[in-house]
Chains A and B, each alone.
Chain A
Amino acid sequence: SQELEQSPQSLIVQEGKNLTINCTSSKTLYGLYWYKQKYGEGLIFLMMLQKGGEEKSHEKITAKLDEKKQQSSLHITASQPSHAGIYLCGAEGGSNYKLTFGKGTLLTVNP
């Protein structure tokens, strides 16, 4: 089965700072999804990457998938308190539509 490891497990930054969260897979990624979860709530879709070397941005969040399709990073520029939450990466299997998730990275942004 596919395993996803996220690092760091938690992160505390000062408002305005940049940060990066990583997601590493034990197998080739066919589809890599980033979700955000506020404590005690459901997951909100951020971005999805499929092709090696692909990069997508939305507002101040940029996600990349490496060429080998085994690692993804999520970068937040000029962080704000609204960015606080748990960021989870999820991966599709090779031929199905189920997502396996990492444990998440807890982000705290101090004003």
Chain B
Amino acid sequence: SQTIHQWPATLVQPVGSPLSLECTVEGTSNPNLYWYRQAAGRGLQLLFYSVGIGQISSEVPQNLSASRPQDRQFILSSKKLLLSDSGFYLCAWRGVLPGGTEAFFGQGTRLTVV
């Protein structure tokens, strides 16, 4: 069966420090992968999506970047965190099932920049 892992669950980082959030998918190959930020009142904001290794599309200009070094690995990074980067980050992959397509989400990472 397909599963998605995202870590860490919570993270507290000082302003100016680097960031690396990792997401891995099991049980599927060549998935479409996504990073979202979830904020109250702003819903799910698509940050990056990737169709394959090394292929990243950015939706929102910001202090973050994404990379896909392996087929089932998707990384969200920052060289220097800002206070405004605080939020809840979700990784997802798009599955194609007999009944149709479906997005599967990780548990999320609560990032607090202090």
Do chains A and B stick together as partners? no
Which A residues are within 8 Å of any B CB, using their own CB?
none
